Each structure stands twice: as C-alpha cells, then as structure tokens.
Structure 1
Amino acid sequence: MSYITYKYRIKDATSGKWLDRHATACNQVWNFCCNTQRQAELRRYGDRGHFWPSAFDLINLTAGSGKMLGLHSDTVSALCRRFEQNRDTQERSPQFRKSFGPRRSLGWVPITKRALKICGDEVVYLKRRFKLWRSRDISGEFKAGSFTQDARGRWYVSLVCKVEDGLARKDGCVGIDLGLRNLAITSDAEKISAPRLFRRYERKLGDAQRAGNKRRARAIHAKIANARRDYLHKESTRLADNYSFIAVGDVKAAQLARTRMAKSIMDAGWALFRDMLRYKAARRRAVYVDVDERYTSQMCSGCGVVPDSSPKGMGALGMRRWDCCECGASHDRDVNAAKNILRAGLECQPPAEEILAA
C-alpha cells in the first residue's frame, strides 16, 4: 500500500475569501503553539533540560478555540500535530506564520478524514461545498488532506489517499547519472534532455521584474514550475514502467546550489525527479536505491580501475569522452558513470536467498 496525493484547483472563486479567513484563523492557532513552545523553553526542570509540550498538551491548551475561530475541531488538532512534527524534525520551534503584509505566509488549512466529504466533483467542508477542476479520478481510500494557496492567490485542495501497489512494469536494471546538459543519462546509453525551462523564460521574467509587475512575475514562475513538474512526471513514469531496479547517483543538489552553477542546478529539479522515481518505483514493487557517485566518472566500467587517463577534477569537466589506458575501452563520460552507478547499486543489494528468508 502507498499514499499518493491528488491535488485539484477549486473552481468557485467566491470561496477564496472564505478560505482566507480560515487560513488566518489557522495561523493564529499555529502562532499560539509557537508562543507556547518558546515560553516552555525558558523554563528548566532540573536535569531534564527544556520541557517541550507534546501534541496532546497543545490540543488540550487549544480546546474550544475551533468554535471561537470558526474552525473544525479536527483542523485545530491537525495543526497541533503538524507543529509537533515540524518542531521535532527541526529540533527547534518553527517560525510564526504571518497573515498580512508583503511577506505573509501562503494560506493553509489542514483537514482530516472526518471533517471532509467527497461528492463527485465537489468536496464538503463545514457544510460548505467547493467545486473542483477535476482533472482525474480519485482512487483509493481518503485519509487526510488540506486546502493550500499558491503565490497567485489560487486555492487548491490536496487529498491524501491510500492506494494499492502492484502496477504493471517491465523487468530490467538501470543506472542513472544526473546532469545539467542532459537531465539524466542511463546505463543503456539513453540521454534524457534537460528542458531548461527557467532559461527559456528568463528574459520574460526579467522584463516583468524590472517593470515591477509582480503579478506577471508570479505567473511566469508558476508556469515554469508547472512545466517542469509535468516533464519530470512523464520521464519518471516512463522509467518506472520499464525497469524493476533503478539506481540513481546521490548528487548533492543543496551543496551545488551554493556554487556558480546554482541557477542551472535549481532549474534541473534533481531532488524532485528522484522523489518521483522513488515513490513510483515503490508503487510498481520495483527497487530504488541511491548510490554514492564518488569516482563513478573516473572509474572504468569495463575493468573497474581508475586509470590515469580518466577525467579528474573540475578542470576535466570538458572531457566528455576518454579511453582507458588499462583495458583500452572507449567511454562516454556520462554513460560510463551510469554503468558504475548500476554496478554499485546491485552490489549493495542483499543476495536473493536472504530476501526470500526475510
């Protein structure tokens, strides 16, 4: 079983003001949790250190606030639980959510299974009906969800559903090396081109920003993000359908984003592409592994050694083909790296008899 999220845009424009008020009320509950957490951190209880209120404590402290703010009681409870998760993950109090001003937080209203009812092309929350642009059918069992707002002020409903695994796929193994000139290069010598969507709209975006047209700039950013996500969905689905074992190099996108290549790194969407491959492989009961890609470009995939003729360092980034001085094999730099990633991924898997025993 897997959990997937269906996201639909709300069709009724008049619901925006109603959801804005509820988002402001949710921010008040969140900010109360932040204030409670920071006050608790000022108190010490002997050797136990700081006292961090649990979600149960926060729910008790906010009891009755839903009726006063016009929120469903389950929404208040969901806010407290999400606050606890974020705090424990970050190991510090989350930031306050701003409801007004140019730097305000985007609207967010969490909902639970009991608070929402799905009726065809509509959802019902607090006796109010929201019409949806239903682009695809909902499958599986609805578990939770949320109303979310984007930078353009449009509201969406996200529905988390529990679905069955076991989608059809083909057998085969593939190693994938992520890049900038090409989004992905497989061990089968297939090169998936990078769309470079930000570069395509960079000039229009710059014109809108220099003219101070924030609305146009936000629309261009949304168009870039939507086109990138659509392209990555199509390519990741195709790869997940064709292979039962997928090994991907664990390139550190966050670290490379601090270099002079930051704009191209962020435009490629490596992290999103790997996340898509991961959950789509799981739905097809395929194996997905992240592989340490160190020395994969330098090691010969034929003989398994690092010859003196292999490209090394930043100065050799322009060397796209090279010949191994040990075994004489000729390599495409990226395809060779993908083959080494595949071999490393297969080596880190347990033997078949151990899998059957488990």
Structure 2
Amino acid sequence: MLKGYKYRLHPTPAQAEFLIRTIGCARFIYNKLLEDRITIHEEAKAGGGPRRKPPTPASYKPLFPFLCEADSLALANAKLHLDAAFAKFFARTAGFPVFKSRRKARASYTTNNQHGTIRIEGDRVRLPKIGFIRFTQHRSFNGKIRSATVSMTKTGTFFVSLLVEQDDEPWVPAEHKVGIDLGLGHFAVTTNDALVTEKIANPRNLRKAEARLKRAQRALSRKKPGSKNREKARLLLARKHEQVRNRRNDFLHKLSRRIVDENQVVVVETLKPREMMQNRRLAKSIGDAGWGEFVRQLEYKCRFYGRTLIKADPWFASTQVCSNCGENDGRKGLDIWEWTCGTCGAHHDRDVNASLNLLRLADRNHPGQGLPDELGP
C-alpha cells in the first residue's frame, strides 16, 4: 500500500531559495513541453506529414542553462505530470491541459528516491541536490520512501509529502452501516443501522472569517504596487485564507476518520458542487462546505481501512421518497424542511428522511447485516 505523509519543512534562506528555483524550473519545463506539443500537433495538422517526437526535459538544458541547477528528477516528473494530464484529456475525464501560472498554480515539484537519496535522520530529511533540511515529524511511519513532493504555500511556508510503500493496515471490522445526507443547514445528517441519528453542525469557516478577510483585502488594495507594505499586506491576507483552509481541512479529516472508524459500510449521496454553485445565492456557502473534499477523504480512508463506500446514484431521490413506505408523492422545494407522507401519514424531517433512504442502499448492496424491523420494507 502506498500512503502519503505530509510534514512541515524549516529550510534555511539558502535552501528556501533553491527550493523556489526548483519549483520554478519544474513549472517552466511543464509549460515548454505543453507549448511544444501544441506546436507539433499544429504542424502535423497543417503539413500532413509525420509527426515529430516531442522533446525531453534534458534537451532544453543547452538552451536554458539554469535548468542544470535543478534536480533532474523534478524535471522528469514534470513531464510525467503532463503525460498524465493528456491521458486524462484523451480519456475524457478532464479538460485540455493548461499552462501553469506562477501566481495561481500550485507551487510544487516531485522527486524520486534512488538508493537512499531521500531519507530521514533525526529531525532532518534529506532531499536530492539540496541535502538535509530540518522538518517537524509529528508522526512516524514504517516503510520505504518512494518519492517526495515539496510544496510552498502563498505565505512562503514549505511542506514535504513523502510517498511511503508499507504493509496494508490490519483489518478491524466495524459494527455499523451508515447513510450520510450532506447539506448546508447541517453539514451532514447521519443515521446508522441502530437508528441513531446525528446532526453535524456546519462550521461555516469562510462565513465566520469573512469580515476579517474583507478588511485585509481592502488594506491590500490601498497599498502601492511593488512596495514593501503591499507585500506585508499580501502575506497577511494569505495567512487569513490559509487559516480558513486549515480549519476546514481539520474538520473534514476528523469527521471522515470518525465515520470510517465506526462504520463498515458508508453510503453518501452524489452531489455535483460545480453545477450547484451556478446558483449565485448559494455558491459561496456550497464552496465553503467542502463536500467534494469530504467525499474524497472518505474514499481513500475506506480503501485504507477495508471499508465499503457506496455513492448513491445522482438521480436517487433521497429527499423526495418516504423512508417509511417508499412512495414519492411529489417534489418538495428546498424551503420545505418537514413534510408528511400523503400515502402512509408518516411525518419526516427532510434530512433525517434522506439519511434513512441512503441507509437502505447499504442493506441492498450488503445484505449480510439486516436493518432493524422499523426500517424494513
């Protein structure tokens, strides 16, 4: 099993400068390779002749000597990342690859471990062509390091993600199945097969920090471009945005891990946040919730710990169908939080009813553990 471990780096000024240059070289190679691939395609399309092979990262070094200073494996991995982007495009699972911007793209590079070039000794981690860098190892691991990805945030903070090959986690079966309904009033409403319902509050991290972010943004807009005060204001605003992101990730990681620890089968509804955010009135709240990241974390944690994740069909009417009799007596608008079934007379909380309907999918796909009589068909 391959598992990633992310740690905070504490480089010296000289090491930080080298890491920034290497990140820039990897971005430069990615953009040059993409530019040349587009040119080769246009030449072949116009001339009709055989298509020439795209260049390699090493072929650019005579033209751009500064590339020789960077880790060669970082440049090679940039090419692999572009190849993967094109593979996703041709498989129609992603759009056409775009050029990486120095300001907007994620600042990172990936290098490989070759005969111990990446290793940990005490409170330092060794990286190729730079040597040992101090880091904070807040948790240990057992296994062989395969690669390392160095990243830098907008505030100039460095991290290293070590990809480790290790034995699979020991499988410990859990007792319950759970249905999870995601929303905005509550971040999630869960109901397990013991009919225990939990309403998890929506932290609304961005909404709570919005006033402070506005003040910091206004202060930045008043500073003179290129001045030191503007750079200070930019860092202050970036730190506030990072605090919001860190709080959101902390909440999602703790919640997803607790759900995976307690339940053997997890059923979650399939949402399309990007399409839902076309509603301008709800777009900011939907983006703040982080539903997509939550489901992504559930996916890989279920895979790590031997759980089963079931994604309901996007057209599954979890909020419209009565969980008691299974009848759908008409569409209910978003403003209807409680309703009474016209067929059986059962009174429902909208979100609890949806979680019960999702729980039924767990029993249909994994009938080994039956539902209580109250949920029976």
Q: TM-score range by the shorter chain?
A: 0.7 to 0.9
TM superposition shift of 1:266: 0.7
* Selected match of 2:258 from 219, 222, 238: 238
Q: Distance in 2 between matches of 1:325 and 1:232?
A: 37
Aligned partner of 2:297 in structure 1 is 276
Work out whether residues 83 and 94 of structure 1, in 8 Å CA contact, stay in contact via their aligned partners in 2.
yes
Unaligned runs of 5+ in 1: 353-358
Report the RMSD for the aligned CA atoms in angstroms: 2.7
The SS at the match of 2:267 is strand
Q: What are the Cα deviations for residues 32-80 of structure 1, in whole angstroms up to 9, with x where unaligned?
A: 21122111111337999995957xx635745888995222332222111
The SS at the match of 2:33 is helix
User: Which letter does structure 2 place at the counterpart of 1:185?
Assistant: V
Q: Distance in 2 between matches of 1:13 and 1:223?
A: 24
* Selected match of 2:350 from 325, 333, 342: 333
TM superposition shift of 1:107: 2.8
User: Which letter does structure 2 place at the counterpart of 1:191?
Assistant: K
Aligned partner of 1:222 in structure 2 is 242
Report matched runs for 1:82-93 at 5 Å: 82-91=81-90
Report the CA distance shift for 1:198/1:69 in structure 2 as closer, same or farther (over 3 A).
same
Work out whether residues 319 and 354 of structure 2, in 8 Å CA contact, stay in contact via their aligned partners in 1.
yes
Report the CA distance shift for 1:328/1:197 in structure 2 as closer, same or farther (over 3 A).
same
Aligned partner of 1:80 in structure 2 is 79
Work out whether residues 321 and 328 of structure 2, in 8 Å CA contact, stay in contact via their aligned partners in 1.
yes
Q: Distance in 1 between matches of 2:304 and 2:173?
A: 10
The SS at the match of 1:95 is coil
* Selected match of 1:323 from 340, 343, 346: 340
Report the CA distance shift for 1:140/1:182 in structure 2 as closer, same or farther (over 3 A).
farther
TM superposition shift of 1:245: 0.2
TM superposition shift of 1:155: 1.3
Report matched runs for 1:254-293 at 5 Å: 254-259=274-279, 260-293=281-314
* Selected match of 1:205 from 210, 213, 217: 213
Report matched runs for 1:99-178 at 5 Å: 99=102, 103=103, 105-114=105-114, 115-125=117-127, 126-163=129-166, 164-178=168-182
Unaligned runs of 5+ in 2: 221-232, 369-377
The SS at the match of 1:152 is coil
User: Which letter does structure 2 place at the counterpart of 1:332?
Assistant: D
Are 2:56 and 1:58 aligned? Answer: yes
Q: Distance in 1 between matches of 2:35 and 2:254?
A: 44
Q: Distance in 1 between matches of 2:70 and 2:59?
A: 15
Q: What are the Cα deviations for residues 228-267 of structure 1, in whole angstroms up to 9, with x where unaligned?
A: 1011111111100000000100011111112120100011
User: Which letter does structure 2 place at the counterpart of 1:324?
Assistant: C
User: Which letter does structure 2 place at the counterpart of 1:122?
Assistant: R
Q: Distance in 2 between matches of 1:124 and 1:220?
A: 31
Work out whether residues 27 and 78 of structure 2, in 8 Å CA contact, stay in contact via their aligned partners in 1.
no
The SS at the match of 2:120 is strand
Q: Distance in 2 between matches of 1:170 and 1:219?
A: 39
Q: Distance in 2 between matches of 1:243 and 1:71?
A: 47
Report the CA distance shift for 1:321/1:93 in structure 2 as closer, same or farther (over 3 A).
closer
Aligned partner of 2:27 in structure 1 is 27
Report the CA distance shift for 1:329/1:23 in structure 2 as closer, same or farther (over 3 A).
same
Report the CA distance shift for 1:51/1:194 in structure 2 as closer, same or farther (over 3 A).
farther
User: Which letter does structure 2 place at the counterpart of 1:141?
Assistant: K
Work out whether residues 189 and 351 of structure 2, in 8 Å CA contact, stay in contact via their aligned partners in 1.
yes
Report the CA distance shift for 1:256/1:104 in structure 2 as closer, same or farther (over 3 A).
closer
Q: Which moved more, 1:251-260 or 1:111-120?
A: 111-120
Q: Distance in 1 between matches of 2:109 and 2:296?
A: 25
Identical-pair percentage: 27
TM superposition shift of 1:87: 2.2
Report the CA distance shift for 1:105/1:170 in structure 2 as closer, same or farther (over 3 A).
closer
Q: Distance in 2 between matches of 1:237 and 1:49?
A: 55
Aligned partner of 2:375 in structure 1 is none
Report the CA distance shift for 1:135/1:50 in structure 2 as closer, same or farther (over 3 A).
farther
Aligned partner of 1:356 in structure 2 is none
Q: Distance in 1 between matches of 2:209 and 2:291?
A: 19
Q: Which moved more, 1:41-50 or 1:163-172?
A: 41-50
Q: Distance in 2 between matches of 1:128 and 1:328?
A: 71
User: Which letter does structure 2 place at the counterpart of 1:266?
Assistant: G
How many residues of Structure 1 are paired with residues of Structure 2 in the alignment?
A: 340
User: Which letter does structure 1 place at the counterpart of 2:350?
Assistant: R
TM superposition shift of 1:169: 4.7
Work out whether residues 37 and 52 of structure 1, in 8 Å CA contact, stay in contact via their aligned partners in 2.
no
